[in-house]
A and B are shown apart, each in its own frame.
Chain A
Amino acid sequence: MTKPSRLAVVRRNLKLILGNPLGALGFGIVLLLVLVAIFADFIAPYGYADLNVRDRMQGPSPAHLLGTDQLGRDTFSRAVVGTRVALLVALPAVGGALFFGMLLGMTAALGARWLDNAIMLFLDTIRSFPTVMFALAVVALVGPSLATVVAVVMITSVPVYGRVARTQTLALVNSEFILAERTMQASFLRILFVHMLPNIFGVLAILAALDIPAVIALEAGLSFLGLGVKPPTPSWGVLLRDGYALIRSTPWLVVAGVIPVILATLGFTFFGEALRDVLDPKLRGRG
Protein backbone atom coordinates (compact mmCIF):
# COMPACT_ATOMS: atom_id res chain seq x y z
CA MET A 1 0.00 0.00 0.00
CA THR A 2 1.44 3.36 -0.98
CA LYS A 3 1.10 6.27 1.35
CA PRO A 4 -1.30 8.93 0.00
CA SER A 5 0.34 12.30 -0.56
CA ARG A 6 -0.39 15.07 1.88
CA LEU A 7 -2.32 17.02 -0.73
CA ALA A 8 -4.52 14.02 -1.45
CA VAL A 9 -5.30 13.66 2.26
CA VAL A 10 -6.24 17.34 2.53
CA ARG A 11 -8.41 17.03 -0.58
CA ARG A 12 -10.15 13.93 0.79
CA ASN A 13 -10.83 15.57 4.16
CA LEU A 14 -12.14 18.72 2.51
CA LYS A 15 -14.49 16.59 0.44
CA LEU A 16 -15.76 14.90 3.60
CA ILE A 17 -16.34 18.27 5.29
CA LEU A 18 -18.15 19.64 2.24
CA GLY A 19 -20.23 16.47 2.06
CA ASN A 20 -21.84 17.41 5.37
CA PRO A 21 -24.31 20.29 4.74
CA LEU A 22 -23.45 22.09 8.00
CA GLY A 23 -19.75 21.53 7.41
CA ALA A 24 -20.07 23.02 3.94
CA LEU A 25 -21.99 25.98 5.32
CA GLY A 26 -19.37 26.51 8.03
CA PHE A 27 -16.52 26.19 5.55
CA GLY A 28 -18.21 28.68 3.24
CA ILE A 29 -18.68 31.22 6.03
CA VAL A 30 -15.11 30.81 7.29
CA LEU A 31 -13.74 31.20 3.77
CA LEU A 32 -15.90 34.29 3.25
CA LEU A 33 -14.69 35.85 6.53
CA VAL A 34 -11.05 35.19 5.71
CA LEU A 35 -11.46 36.72 2.25
CA VAL A 36 -13.31 39.71 3.69
CA ALA A 37 -10.54 40.21 6.23
CA ILE A 38 -7.82 40.05 3.56
CA PHE A 39 -9.58 42.27 1.03
CA ALA A 40 -11.32 44.55 3.54
CA ASP A 41 -9.88 47.68 1.97
CA PHE A 42 -11.34 46.80 -1.42
CA ILE A 43 -14.70 45.60 -0.12
CA ALA A 44 -15.50 48.47 2.23
CA PRO A 45 -17.24 51.17 0.17
CA TYR A 46 -16.25 53.93 2.62
CA GLY A 47 -13.34 54.50 4.99
CA TYR A 48 -14.10 53.03 8.42
CA ALA A 49 -13.53 56.38 10.10
CA ASP A 50 -15.03 58.64 7.41
CA LEU A 51 -17.47 61.03 9.07
CA ASN A 52 -20.60 62.19 7.35
CA VAL A 53 -22.70 63.93 9.99
CA ARG A 54 -25.48 64.85 7.56
CA ASP A 55 -26.32 61.17 6.98
CA ARG A 56 -25.98 59.97 10.55
CA MET A 57 -28.02 57.16 12.14
CA GLN A 58 -29.68 56.04 8.96
CA GLY A 59 -31.30 52.70 8.33
CA PRO A 60 -30.10 50.38 5.57
CA SER A 61 -30.19 51.86 2.06
CA PRO A 62 -28.45 51.15 -1.26
CA ALA A 63 -25.83 53.77 -0.36
CA HIS A 64 -25.28 52.35 3.15
CA LEU A 65 -26.07 48.64 3.21
CA LEU A 66 -26.20 48.46 7.02
CA GLY A 67 -27.00 52.11 7.67
CA THR A 68 -24.79 54.63 9.44
CA ASP A 69 -23.81 55.27 13.05
CA GLN A 70 -24.10 58.33 15.29
CA LEU A 71 -21.23 60.03 13.46
CA GLY A 72 -22.48 59.12 9.99
CA ARG A 73 -19.84 56.42 9.50
CA ASP A 74 -20.86 53.61 7.17
CA THR A 75 -21.69 50.61 9.37
CA PHE A 76 -21.12 48.06 6.62
CA SER A 77 -17.58 49.34 6.05
CA ARG A 78 -16.93 49.23 9.78
CA ALA A 79 -18.23 45.67 10.04
CA VAL A 80 -16.03 44.64 7.09
CA VAL A 81 -12.88 46.11 8.63
CA GLY A 82 -13.95 44.64 11.99
CA THR A 83 -13.59 41.18 10.46
CA ARG A 84 -9.88 41.82 10.22
CA VAL A 85 -9.67 42.78 13.90
CA ALA A 86 -11.65 39.70 14.93
CA LEU A 87 -9.38 37.33 13.03
CA LEU A 88 -6.22 39.21 14.04
CA VAL A 89 -7.12 38.52 17.66
CA ALA A 90 -8.53 35.02 17.29
CA LEU A 91 -5.87 33.38 15.14
CA PRO A 92 -2.70 34.44 17.03
CA ALA A 93 -4.39 33.91 20.40
CA VAL A 94 -5.57 30.40 19.60
CA GLY A 95 -2.31 29.58 17.80
CA GLY A 96 -0.24 30.78 20.75
CA ALA A 97 -2.39 28.87 23.25
CA LEU A 98 -2.02 25.74 21.13
CA PHE A 99 1.76 26.14 20.96
CA PHE A 100 2.36 26.81 24.65
CA GLY A 101 -0.25 24.29 25.71
CA MET A 102 1.42 21.62 23.62
CA LEU A 103 4.84 22.55 24.96
CA LEU A 104 3.72 22.48 28.60
CA GLY A 105 1.53 19.41 28.22
CA MET A 106 4.23 17.35 26.51
CA THR A 107 6.86 18.49 28.98
CA ALA A 108 4.57 17.46 31.83
CA ALA A 109 3.92 14.06 30.29
CA LEU A 110 7.52 13.27 29.38
CA GLY A 111 9.29 15.05 32.24
CA ALA A 112 9.98 14.04 35.81
CA ARG A 113 7.10 13.43 38.20
CA TRP A 114 7.67 16.66 40.14
CA LEU A 115 7.77 18.69 36.91
CA ASP A 116 4.50 17.07 35.83
CA ASN A 117 2.87 17.97 39.15
CA ALA A 118 4.24 21.52 39.07
CA ILE A 119 3.04 22.19 35.52
CA MET A 120 -0.40 20.74 36.15
CA LEU A 121 -0.80 22.75 39.34
CA PHE A 122 0.25 25.88 37.47
CA LEU A 123 -2.32 25.20 34.75
CA ASP A 124 -5.02 24.50 37.36
CA THR A 125 -4.24 27.81 38.99
CA ILE A 126 -4.69 29.77 35.78
CA ARG A 127 -7.88 27.84 35.13
CA SER A 128 -9.27 28.85 38.50
CA PHE A 129 -9.97 32.38 37.26
CA PRO A 130 -13.19 32.77 35.29
CA THR A 131 -11.98 33.93 31.84
CA VAL A 132 -13.74 37.27 31.69
CA MET A 133 -12.87 38.08 35.31
CA PHE A 134 -9.21 37.35 34.63
CA ALA A 135 -9.35 39.44 31.46
CA LEU A 136 -10.88 42.33 33.39
CA ALA A 137 -8.19 42.14 36.08
CA VAL A 138 -5.42 42.21 33.48
CA VAL A 139 -7.01 44.99 31.44
CA ALA A 140 -7.51 47.01 34.61
CA LEU A 141 -3.80 46.76 35.40
CA VAL A 142 -2.09 47.07 32.01
CA GLY A 143 -4.73 48.98 30.07
CA PRO A 144 -6.83 47.92 27.09
CA SER A 145 -5.26 47.15 23.70
CA LEU A 146 -5.34 44.56 20.94
CA ALA A 147 -2.20 42.93 22.38
CA THR A 148 -3.74 42.69 25.85
CA VAL A 149 -6.77 40.90 24.44
CA VAL A 150 -4.57 38.44 22.54
CA ALA A 151 -2.40 37.79 25.61
CA VAL A 152 -5.36 37.29 27.92
CA VAL A 153 -7.08 34.87 25.59
CA MET A 154 -3.85 32.96 25.12
CA ILE A 155 -3.14 32.67 28.84
CA THR A 156 -6.65 31.60 29.78
CA SER A 157 -6.81 28.98 27.01
CA VAL A 158 -3.40 27.38 27.64
CA PRO A 159 -4.64 25.10 30.50
CA VAL A 160 -7.16 23.30 28.30
CA TYR A 161 -4.61 22.64 25.55
CA GLY A 162 -1.96 21.68 28.09
CA ARG A 163 -4.22 19.15 29.75
CA VAL A 164 -5.24 17.54 26.47
CA ALA A 165 -1.66 17.49 25.16
CA ARG A 166 -0.52 15.79 28.37
CA THR A 167 -3.21 13.10 28.25
CA GLN A 168 -2.59 12.51 24.57
CA THR A 169 1.18 12.26 25.07
CA LEU A 170 0.79 9.81 27.95
CA ALA A 171 -1.49 7.65 25.85
CA LEU A 172 0.98 7.73 22.96
CA VAL A 173 4.05 6.96 25.04
CA ASN A 174 2.47 3.69 26.09
CA SER A 175 1.06 2.83 22.67
CA GLU A 176 2.36 -0.13 20.71
CA PHE A 177 3.64 1.70 17.66
CA ILE A 178 5.88 3.91 19.77
CA LEU A 179 7.13 0.82 21.56
CA ALA A 180 7.86 -0.71 18.15
CA GLU A 181 9.78 2.42 17.11
CA ARG A 182 11.82 2.15 20.29
CA THR A 183 12.70 -1.48 19.72
CA MET A 184 13.84 -0.45 16.26
CA GLN A 185 16.17 2.01 17.98
CA ALA A 186 14.57 5.15 16.60
CA SER A 187 16.09 8.22 18.24
CA PHE A 188 14.11 10.18 20.81
CA LEU A 189 13.91 13.17 18.48
CA ARG A 190 12.62 11.05 15.63
CA ILE A 191 9.94 9.53 17.84
CA LEU A 192 9.03 12.98 19.13
CA PHE A 193 8.83 14.84 15.83
CA VAL A 194 7.82 12.18 13.35
CA HIS A 195 5.49 10.06 15.43
CA MET A 196 4.21 11.94 18.44
CA LEU A 197 3.87 15.56 17.37
CA PRO A 198 1.54 14.94 14.41
CA ASN A 199 -0.72 12.79 16.58
CA ILE A 200 -0.92 15.33 19.36
CA PHE A 201 -1.22 18.29 17.03
CA GLY A 202 -4.26 16.81 15.29
CA VAL A 203 -6.29 16.61 18.48
CA LEU A 204 -5.24 20.09 19.56
CA ALA A 205 -6.03 21.55 16.14
CA ILE A 206 -9.60 20.30 16.42
CA LEU A 207 -9.83 21.86 19.86
CA ALA A 208 -8.46 25.11 18.43
CA ALA A 209 -11.01 25.19 15.61
CA LEU A 210 -13.79 24.74 18.16
CA ASP A 211 -12.24 27.43 20.37
CA ILE A 212 -12.17 30.21 17.76
CA PRO A 213 -15.86 31.18 18.13
CA ALA A 214 -15.42 31.66 21.87
CA VAL A 215 -12.34 33.80 21.29
CA ILE A 216 -14.09 35.95 18.69
CA ALA A 217 -16.96 36.41 21.13
CA LEU A 218 -14.54 37.33 23.95
CA GLU A 219 -12.82 39.99 21.84
CA ALA A 220 -16.16 41.42 20.77
CA GLY A 221 -17.34 41.26 24.39
CA LEU A 222 -14.33 43.08 25.80
CA SER A 223 -14.56 45.72 23.07
CA PHE A 224 -18.27 46.00 23.85
CA LEU A 225 -17.33 46.80 27.45
CA GLY A 226 -14.89 49.42 26.18
CA LEU A 227 -11.96 47.29 27.36
CA GLY A 228 -10.82 45.76 24.08
CA VAL A 229 -9.56 47.56 20.99
CA LYS A 230 -9.55 51.33 21.11
CA PRO A 231 -11.65 53.56 18.84
CA PRO A 232 -11.60 54.43 16.00
CA THR A 233 -10.51 50.83 15.25
CA PRO A 234 -13.79 49.19 14.31
CA SER A 235 -14.23 45.94 16.20
CA TRP A 236 -17.63 44.22 16.06
CA GLY A 237 -17.76 44.80 19.79
CA VAL A 238 -17.31 48.53 19.29
CA LEU A 239 -20.22 48.52 16.81
CA LEU A 240 -22.35 46.80 19.45
CA ARG A 241 -21.21 49.27 22.09
CA ASP A 242 -22.36 52.18 19.91
CA GLY A 243 -25.54 50.30 19.10
CA TYR A 244 -26.28 49.62 22.75
CA ALA A 245 -25.91 53.30 23.61
CA LEU A 246 -28.39 54.21 20.87
CA ILE A 247 -30.69 51.18 21.18
CA ARG A 248 -33.71 53.33 21.89
CA SER A 249 -33.21 55.58 18.86
CA THR A 250 -32.22 53.04 16.21
CA PRO A 251 -32.18 49.24 16.19
CA TRP A 252 -29.91 49.09 13.13
CA LEU A 253 -26.58 49.53 14.85
CA VAL A 254 -27.17 46.57 17.18
CA VAL A 255 -28.47 44.48 14.30
CA ALA A 256 -25.44 45.42 12.17
CA GLY A 257 -23.06 44.48 14.97
CA VAL A 258 -24.81 41.23 15.78
CA ILE A 259 -24.86 39.87 12.21
CA PRO A 260 -21.09 39.42 11.80
CA VAL A 261 -20.63 38.04 15.34
CA ILE A 262 -23.33 35.42 14.85
CA LEU A 263 -22.09 34.62 11.36
CA ALA A 264 -18.54 34.12 12.63
CA THR A 265 -19.39 32.07 15.73
CA LEU A 266 -21.83 29.83 13.84
CA GLY A 267 -19.52 29.47 10.85
CA PHE A 268 -16.47 28.51 12.89
CA THR A 269 -18.52 26.20 15.13
CA PHE A 270 -20.07 24.28 12.22
CA PHE A 271 -16.71 24.13 10.46
CA GLY A 272 -14.87 23.03 13.61
CA GLU A 273 -17.36 20.28 14.34
CA ALA A 274 -17.27 18.97 10.78
CA LEU A 275 -13.48 19.01 10.97
CA ARG A 276 -13.61 17.05 14.23
CA ASP A 277 -15.97 14.47 12.78
CA VAL A 278 -13.70 13.96 9.80
CA LEU A 279 -10.37 13.90 11.61
CA ASP A 280 -11.42 12.13 14.78
CA PRO A 281 -14.61 10.11 14.47
CA LYS A 282 -14.10 8.86 18.03
CA LEU A 283 -14.94 12.31 19.38
CA ARG A 284 -18.19 12.54 17.44
CA GLY A 285 -21.16 13.67 19.47
CA ARG A 286 -19.16 14.23 22.60
CA GLY A 287 -20.20 17.88 22.72
Chain B
Amino acid sequence: MPAYAAKRILLALLTIFLAVTLMFIMIRAIPGDPVSILLGPRATPELKAALIERLALDKPLYTQLFIFYRDLLHGDLGLDVFSNRSVTAIVFEQLPFTLELIFAAILWSALLGLALGLLAAARPNTRLDKALAILSTAFVAAPAFVVALLSLLLFSVHLQWLPAIGAGESGNIPDRLYHLVLPSFAIGLSWVGYIARIVRASFLEVLGEDHIRTARAFGVAERKILLSYAFRVGILPVITLLGVGMAFLLSAAVFTEIVFARPGIGQLVISSINSRNYPVVMGSVLVSSVIFVVSTTISDLVNAMLDPRIRSAL
Protein backbone atom coordinates (compact mmCIF):
# COMPACT_ATOMS: atom_id res chain seq x y z
CA MET B 1 0.00 0.00 0.00
CA PRO B 2 2.67 2.64 0.83
CA ALA B 3 4.34 1.92 -2.52
CA TYR B 4 1.05 2.30 -4.36
CA ALA B 5 0.20 5.48 -2.46
CA ALA B 6 3.63 6.96 -3.20
CA LYS B 7 3.30 6.16 -6.90
CA ARG B 8 -0.23 7.51 -7.10
CA ILE B 9 0.66 10.75 -5.31
CA LEU B 10 3.74 11.19 -7.46
CA LEU B 11 1.59 10.75 -10.55
CA ALA B 12 -0.87 13.34 -9.24
CA LEU B 13 1.94 15.83 -8.61
CA LEU B 14 3.33 15.21 -12.08
CA THR B 15 -0.12 15.78 -13.60
CA ILE B 16 -0.54 19.03 -11.73
CA PHE B 17 2.95 20.12 -12.80
CA LEU B 18 2.11 19.38 -16.43
CA ALA B 19 -1.29 21.05 -16.21
CA VAL B 20 0.38 24.19 -14.91
CA THR B 21 2.90 24.02 -17.73
CA LEU B 22 0.12 23.57 -20.25
CA MET B 23 -1.58 26.62 -18.83
CA PHE B 24 1.64 28.59 -19.13
CA ILE B 25 2.09 27.48 -22.73
CA MET B 26 -1.53 28.33 -23.55
CA ILE B 27 -1.15 31.87 -22.32
CA ARG B 28 2.13 32.32 -24.16
CA ALA B 29 0.93 30.61 -27.36
CA ILE B 30 -1.87 33.08 -27.93
CA PRO B 31 -1.03 35.23 -30.94
CA GLY B 32 -0.20 38.74 -29.92
CA ASP B 33 1.39 40.26 -26.92
CA PRO B 34 0.65 38.35 -23.68
CA VAL B 35 0.80 41.52 -21.61
CA SER B 36 -2.01 43.17 -23.55
CA ILE B 37 -4.01 39.96 -23.41
CA LEU B 38 -3.49 39.45 -19.70
CA LEU B 39 -4.16 43.06 -18.84
CA GLY B 40 -6.94 43.63 -21.33
CA PRO B 41 -7.80 46.86 -23.08
CA ARG B 42 -7.51 49.00 -19.95
CA ALA B 43 -3.78 48.47 -19.57
CA THR B 44 -1.69 51.54 -18.96
CA PRO B 45 2.00 51.62 -19.98
CA GLU B 46 2.99 51.53 -16.28
CA LEU B 47 0.85 48.45 -15.64
CA LYS B 48 2.34 46.80 -18.72
CA ALA B 49 5.88 47.55 -17.61
CA ALA B 50 5.14 46.21 -14.14
CA LEU B 51 3.71 42.98 -15.55
CA ILE B 52 6.65 42.50 -17.94
CA GLU B 53 8.90 42.91 -14.95
CA ARG B 54 6.87 40.55 -12.76
CA LEU B 55 6.47 37.80 -15.36
CA ALA B 56 10.06 38.35 -16.51
CA LEU B 57 8.86 38.62 -20.10
CA ASP B 58 12.12 40.29 -21.06
CA LYS B 59 13.99 37.16 -19.89
CA PRO B 60 14.30 33.84 -21.74
CA LEU B 61 11.36 31.40 -21.73
CA TYR B 62 12.84 28.94 -19.23
CA THR B 63 13.40 31.77 -16.76
CA GLN B 64 9.77 32.80 -17.22
CA LEU B 65 8.60 29.26 -16.59
CA PHE B 66 10.83 28.99 -13.53
CA ILE B 67 9.43 32.24 -12.10
CA PHE B 68 5.90 31.03 -12.85
CA TYR B 69 6.48 27.84 -10.83
CA ARG B 70 8.31 29.67 -8.06
CA ASP B 71 5.40 32.08 -7.60
CA LEU B 72 2.92 29.22 -7.67
CA LEU B 73 4.81 27.31 -4.98
CA HIS B 74 4.51 30.41 -2.84
CA GLY B 75 0.77 30.38 -3.49
CA ASP B 76 1.09 33.46 -5.67
CA LEU B 77 -1.29 33.35 -8.64
CA GLY B 78 -0.67 36.94 -9.68
CA LEU B 79 -2.65 40.11 -9.14
CA ASP B 80 -6.17 41.15 -10.06
CA VAL B 81 -5.90 43.57 -12.99
CA PHE B 82 -8.38 46.04 -11.52
CA SER B 83 -8.10 45.92 -7.75
CA ASN B 84 -4.45 44.83 -7.61
CA ARG B 85 -5.44 42.33 -4.92
CA SER B 86 -3.84 38.91 -4.87
CA VAL B 87 -5.67 36.42 -7.11
CA THR B 88 -5.08 33.69 -4.53
CA ALA B 89 -7.03 35.64 -1.92
CA ILE B 90 -9.87 36.35 -4.35
CA VAL B 91 -10.16 32.73 -5.46
CA PHE B 92 -10.06 31.34 -1.91
CA GLU B 93 -12.70 33.84 -0.87
CA GLN B 94 -15.13 32.40 -3.46
CA LEU B 95 -14.12 28.76 -3.20
CA PRO B 96 -16.06 27.90 0.01
CA PHE B 97 -19.36 28.82 -1.69
CA THR B 98 -18.66 26.40 -4.55
CA LEU B 99 -17.44 23.62 -2.26
CA GLU B 100 -20.51 24.04 -0.06
CA LEU B 101 -22.70 23.64 -3.16
CA ILE B 102 -20.79 20.60 -4.42
CA PHE B 103 -20.83 18.82 -1.06
CA ALA B 104 -24.53 19.45 -0.61
CA ALA B 105 -25.15 18.03 -4.08
CA ILE B 106 -22.93 14.99 -3.51
CA LEU B 107 -24.55 14.29 -0.14
CA TRP B 108 -28.16 14.24 -1.25
CA SER B 109 -27.52 12.63 -4.63
CA ALA B 110 -25.32 9.87 -3.17
CA LEU B 111 -27.91 9.00 -0.52
CA LEU B 112 -30.84 8.98 -2.93
CA GLY B 113 -28.85 7.28 -5.69
CA LEU B 114 -27.69 4.59 -3.25
CA ALA B 115 -31.25 3.99 -2.07
CA LEU B 116 -32.66 3.77 -5.60
CA GLY B 117 -29.79 1.56 -6.76
CA LEU B 118 -30.20 -0.83 -3.81
CA LEU B 119 -33.94 -0.96 -4.43
CA ALA B 120 -33.35 -1.91 -8.06
CA ALA B 121 -30.63 -4.45 -7.18
CA ALA B 122 -32.86 -6.09 -4.56
CA ARG B 123 -35.60 -6.70 -7.14
CA PRO B 124 -33.81 -7.11 -10.48
CA ASN B 125 -35.86 -7.32 -13.68
CA THR B 126 -39.12 -6.43 -11.99
CA ARG B 127 -41.32 -3.59 -13.16
CA LEU B 128 -39.91 -1.42 -10.39
CA ASP B 129 -36.37 -2.11 -11.60
CA LYS B 130 -37.27 -1.19 -15.17
CA ALA B 131 -39.03 2.01 -14.13
CA LEU B 132 -36.02 2.98 -12.02
CA ALA B 133 -33.70 2.27 -14.97
CA ILE B 134 -35.63 4.63 -17.24
CA LEU B 135 -35.77 7.26 -14.50
CA SER B 136 -32.01 7.02 -13.83
CA THR B 137 -31.22 7.31 -17.53
CA ALA B 138 -33.42 10.37 -17.83
CA PHE B 139 -31.68 11.93 -14.80
CA VAL B 140 -28.26 11.22 -16.27
CA ALA B 141 -29.24 12.86 -19.54
CA ALA B 142 -30.59 16.05 -17.97
CA PRO B 143 -28.00 18.84 -18.23
CA ALA B 144 -27.50 20.68 -14.93
CA PHE B 145 -28.15 24.14 -16.31
CA VAL B 146 -31.42 23.04 -17.88
CA VAL B 147 -32.54 21.56 -14.56
CA ALA B 148 -31.41 24.79 -12.89
CA LEU B 149 -33.41 26.97 -15.28
CA LEU B 150 -36.54 24.84 -15.00
CA SER B 151 -36.40 24.63 -11.21
CA LEU B 152 -35.80 28.38 -11.05
CA LEU B 153 -38.84 28.93 -13.24
CA LEU B 154 -41.05 26.54 -11.32
CA PHE B 155 -40.03 26.88 -7.66
CA SER B 156 -38.78 30.46 -7.49
CA VAL B 157 -40.55 32.49 -10.15
CA HIS B 158 -43.83 30.62 -10.44
CA LEU B 159 -44.50 29.05 -7.03
CA GLN B 160 -42.17 31.38 -5.12
CA TRP B 161 -41.29 28.66 -2.61
CA LEU B 162 -37.54 29.00 -2.74
CA PRO B 163 -35.14 31.88 -3.17
CA ALA B 164 -33.82 32.65 -6.65
CA ILE B 165 -30.76 34.71 -5.86
CA GLY B 166 -27.60 34.49 -3.77
CA ALA B 167 -26.18 32.18 -1.14
CA GLY B 168 -28.05 33.53 1.88
CA GLU B 169 -26.99 35.66 4.79
CA SER B 170 -23.52 34.77 6.04
CA GLY B 171 -23.62 33.18 9.50
CA ASN B 172 -27.34 32.46 9.24
CA ILE B 173 -27.17 28.70 8.69
CA PRO B 174 -30.88 27.96 8.04
CA ASP B 175 -30.95 30.77 5.49
CA ARG B 176 -27.84 29.43 3.76
CA LEU B 177 -29.24 25.91 3.62
CA TYR B 178 -32.47 27.34 2.26
CA HIS B 179 -30.49 28.98 -0.54
CA LEU B 180 -28.68 25.71 -1.24
CA VAL B 181 -31.81 23.68 -1.97
CA LEU B 182 -32.42 24.57 -5.61
CA PRO B 183 -28.79 24.87 -6.78
CA SER B 184 -27.75 21.58 -5.19
CA PHE B 185 -30.87 19.93 -6.61
CA ALA B 186 -29.94 21.18 -10.07
CA ILE B 187 -26.37 19.87 -10.09
CA GLY B 188 -27.11 16.71 -8.09
CA LEU B 189 -29.94 15.32 -10.19
CA SER B 190 -27.83 13.65 -12.88
CA TRP B 191 -25.65 12.17 -10.10
CA VAL B 192 -28.67 10.44 -8.62
CA GLY B 193 -28.99 8.70 -11.97
CA TYR B 194 -25.28 7.83 -12.28
CA ILE B 195 -25.01 6.53 -8.73
CA ALA B 196 -28.25 4.54 -8.89
CA ARG B 197 -27.07 2.82 -12.05
CA ILE B 198 -23.59 2.06 -10.82
CA VAL B 199 -24.92 0.83 -7.45
CA ARG B 200 -27.38 -1.49 -9.16
CA ALA B 201 -24.78 -2.94 -11.53
CA SER B 202 -22.15 -3.33 -8.86
CA PHE B 203 -24.45 -4.93 -6.29
CA LEU B 204 -25.92 -7.34 -8.85
CA GLU B 205 -22.38 -8.43 -9.66
CA VAL B 206 -21.47 -8.89 -5.99
CA LEU B 207 -24.73 -10.69 -5.20
CA GLY B 208 -23.80 -13.31 -7.78
CA GLU B 209 -20.50 -14.15 -6.07
CA ASP B 210 -19.76 -17.33 -4.14
CA HIS B 211 -19.47 -15.86 -0.65
CA ILE B 212 -22.97 -14.41 -0.99
CA ARG B 213 -24.28 -17.78 -2.14
CA THR B 214 -22.66 -19.35 0.90
CA ALA B 215 -24.23 -16.75 3.18
CA ARG B 216 -27.62 -17.44 1.60
CA ALA B 217 -27.13 -21.15 2.05
CA PHE B 218 -26.48 -20.54 5.74
CA GLY B 219 -29.82 -18.79 5.91
CA VAL B 220 -28.56 -15.25 6.49
CA ALA B 221 -31.41 -12.76 6.03
CA GLU B 222 -31.53 -11.18 2.58
CA ARG B 223 -31.53 -7.69 4.11
CA LYS B 224 -28.38 -8.46 6.06
CA ILE B 225 -26.70 -9.91 2.97
CA LEU B 226 -27.46 -6.78 0.96
CA LEU B 227 -26.60 -4.20 3.60
CA SER B 228 -23.65 -5.93 5.20
CA TYR B 229 -21.93 -8.64 3.13
CA ALA B 230 -22.53 -7.22 -0.34
CA PHE B 231 -22.26 -3.61 0.78
CA ARG B 232 -18.52 -3.69 1.48
CA VAL B 233 -17.61 -4.65 -2.06
CA GLY B 234 -20.59 -3.21 -3.87
CA ILE B 235 -19.95 0.30 -2.62
CA LEU B 236 -16.45 0.55 -4.14
CA PRO B 237 -17.41 1.86 -7.60
CA VAL B 238 -19.44 4.61 -5.94
CA ILE B 239 -16.30 5.89 -4.24
CA THR B 240 -14.46 6.03 -7.56
CA LEU B 241 -17.41 7.76 -9.12
CA LEU B 242 -17.50 10.41 -6.39
CA GLY B 243 -13.89 11.34 -7.16
CA VAL B 244 -14.73 11.84 -10.82
CA GLY B 245 -17.94 13.52 -9.70
CA MET B 246 -15.99 16.42 -8.25
CA ALA B 247 -14.94 17.43 -11.75
CA PHE B 248 -18.41 17.13 -13.20
CA LEU B 249 -19.87 19.02 -10.29
CA LEU B 250 -17.25 21.76 -10.55
CA SER B 251 -18.29 22.17 -14.18
CA ALA B 252 -21.99 22.02 -13.40
CA ALA B 253 -21.54 24.48 -10.53
CA VAL B 254 -20.45 27.16 -13.00
CA PHE B 255 -23.84 27.15 -14.69
CA THR B 256 -25.79 26.83 -11.49
CA GLU B 257 -23.98 29.74 -9.87
CA ILE B 258 -24.87 31.89 -12.86
CA VAL B 259 -28.52 30.82 -12.98
CA PHE B 260 -29.04 31.37 -9.25
CA ALA B 261 -26.70 34.38 -9.05
CA ARG B 262 -24.74 32.58 -6.31
CA PRO B 263 -21.23 33.64 -5.41
CA GLY B 264 -18.58 31.02 -6.13
CA ILE B 265 -15.69 30.12 -8.36
CA GLY B 266 -17.87 29.75 -11.47
CA GLN B 267 -19.41 33.15 -10.99
CA LEU B 268 -15.89 34.52 -10.46
CA VAL B 269 -14.58 33.00 -13.70
CA ILE B 270 -17.50 34.22 -15.79
CA SER B 271 -17.41 37.75 -14.45
CA SER B 272 -13.62 37.80 -14.91
CA ILE B 273 -13.95 36.63 -18.51
CA ASN B 274 -16.50 39.34 -19.18
CA SER B 275 -14.25 42.01 -17.68
CA ARG B 276 -11.16 40.47 -19.33
CA ASN B 277 -9.52 39.98 -15.97
CA TYR B 278 -7.33 37.12 -17.19
CA PRO B 279 -5.12 36.53 -14.15
CA VAL B 280 -8.26 35.79 -12.15
CA VAL B 281 -9.58 33.45 -14.89
CA MET B 282 -6.32 31.51 -15.03
CA GLY B 283 -5.98 31.38 -11.25
CA SER B 284 -9.50 30.01 -10.81
CA VAL B 285 -9.04 27.41 -13.53
CA LEU B 286 -5.76 26.25 -11.98
CA VAL B 287 -7.23 25.99 -8.49
CA SER B 288 -10.21 24.00 -9.76
CA SER B 289 -7.93 21.63 -11.67
CA VAL B 290 -5.86 21.05 -8.55
CA ILE B 291 -9.04 20.31 -6.59
CA PHE B 292 -10.03 17.83 -9.26
CA VAL B 293 -6.68 16.04 -9.32
CA VAL B 294 -6.60 15.88 -5.52
CA SER B 295 -10.13 14.47 -5.32
CA THR B 296 -9.53 11.76 -7.94
CA THR B 297 -6.27 10.85 -6.20
CA ILE B 298 -8.01 10.55 -2.84
CA SER B 299 -10.75 8.38 -4.32
CA ASP B 300 -8.11 6.12 -5.91
CA LEU B 301 -6.26 5.82 -2.61
CA VAL B 302 -9.43 5.03 -0.66
CA ASN B 303 -10.31 2.46 -3.27
CA ALA B 304 -6.90 0.83 -3.07
CA MET B 305 -7.19 0.73 0.69
CA LEU B 306 -10.53 -1.09 0.46
CA ASP B 307 -9.67 -3.35 -2.44
CA PRO B 308 -6.08 -4.68 -2.48
CA ARG B 309 -6.42 -5.94 -6.05
CA ILE B 310 -6.28 -2.35 -7.34
CA ARG B 311 -2.84 -1.72 -5.85
CA SER B 312 -1.12 -3.93 -8.37
CA ALA B 313 -2.70 -2.09 -11.31
CA LEU B 314 -0.41 0.94 -11.27
Contacts and interface: CB of A to CB of B under 8 A. Distances in A.
A189 interface: no
A2 interface: no
B14 interface: yes
Interface in B268-299: 269-270, 272-274, 276, 278, 281-282, 284-285, 288-289, 292-293
A128 B251 contact: no
Nearest to B280: A140
Interface string B2-30: 00000000010011101100110011001
Nearest to B266: A132
B251 A140 contact: no
A128 B289 contact: yes
A32 interface: no
Interface stretch (B45-53, B77-85, B220-228, B253-261): B253-261
Contact of B288 (A126, A130, A213, A261): A130
A128 B143 contact: no
Contacts of A220: 143, 145-146
A239 to B, nearest CB: 11
A125 B18 contact: yes
Nearest to B134: A22
Interface residues of B, number: 58
* Chain A contact residues, majority secondary structure: helix
B149 interface: yes
Contacts of B14: 121
Nearest to A226: B274
Given A125-B18, A286-B201, A287-B198, A254 B150 contact: yes
A257 B18 CA distance: 39
Contact of A225 (B27, B258, B272, B289): B258
A269 B152 contact: no
B19 A129 contact: yes
B74 interface: no
A4 to B, nearest CB: 30
B157 A247 contact: yes
B57 interface: no
Contact of A262 (B16, B134, B146): B146
B227 to A, nearest CB: 21
A126 B273 CA distance: 21
B15 A128 contact: yes
B153 interface: yes
A247 B143 CA distance: 19
Interface in B22-72: 22-23, 26-27, 30, 37
A285 B120 CA distance: 12
A227 B23 CA distance: 20
A252 B28 CA distance: 44
A127 B23 CA distance: 13
B137 A137 contact: no
26 contacts: A125-B15, A125-B18, A125-B19, A125-B22, A128-B292, A128-B293, A129-B19, A129-B292, A130-B248, A130-B250, A131-B247, A132-B250, A132-B254, A132-B266, A134-B285, A142-B30, A214-B143, A217-B143, A217-B146, A221-B145, A240-B145, A240-B149, A247-B149, A265-B142, A266-B141, A285-B201
Interface of A: 22, 121-122, 124-126, 128-134, 136-142, 213-214, 217, 220-221, 224-227, 240, 243-244, 247-248, 251, 254-255, 257-258, 261-262, 265-266, 268-270, 273, 285-287
| Closest A-B pairs by Cβ, 9 of them | A287-B197, A217-B143, A132-B251, A269-B141, A125-B18, A130-B250, A265-B141, A130-B247, A137-B285
